[in-house]
A and B are shown apart, each in its own frame.
Chain A
Amino acid sequence: MTTMTGKAIGGGARYVDERLTSANFIRRSMNKVFPDHWSFMIGEIALYSFIILLLTGVYLMLFFDATAREVIYNGSYMPLKGVPMSEAYSSTLHISFDVRGGLIMRQIHHWAALLFVSSIVVHMMRVFFTGAFRKPREINWLIGVGLMVLGLLEGFAGYSLPDDLLSGTGLRIAYSVGQSVPVVGTWSTFLLFGGNFPGESIIGRLYVVHILLVPGILLALITAHMMILWYQKHTQFRGPGRTEENVVGSRMYPSYAAKGGGFFFLVFGVVAALGGLAQINPVWMYGPFNPSQVSAGAQPDWYIGFLEGSLRLSPGWEIRAFGHTIPLNILIPGVVLPGIMFGLLALYPFLEAAFTKDKAQHHLLDRPRDKPVRTSLGVMSLTFYFVLWIMGANDIAAHLFRISLNLTTYMGQVALFLLPPLMYAITYRICIGLQRSDHEVLVHGVETGTIHRLPSGEYIEVHAPVQESQLVLSPVEPDHPERIEGERGPRALVSAAGRAVGSFFVAKKKDTSVPADQRERDDDTLTKR
Chain B
Amino acid sequence: MSGAQTPATWSRKVALGALGFVVAIAAWQLATWGNDITEVPGPRLTLLGLSELATDGVLWKNIAASVFRVAWGFCLAAGVGIPLGVWMGWNRDVALFFNPTIQMLRPISPIAWIPFAVVIFGGANFMLGGRILFDASDSSAIFLIFLASFFPIVTATTSAVRSIELKYLRSAANFGVTGLGLFRRVILPAALPQILTGLRLALGIAWVVIVAAEMLGVTSGLGFQVNDSRNNLRMDYVSAAMVVIGLVGLALDMAMSNLEASALARRGMSRR
A binds B: no
**B residues touching A (Cβ–Cβ < 8 Å)?**
none
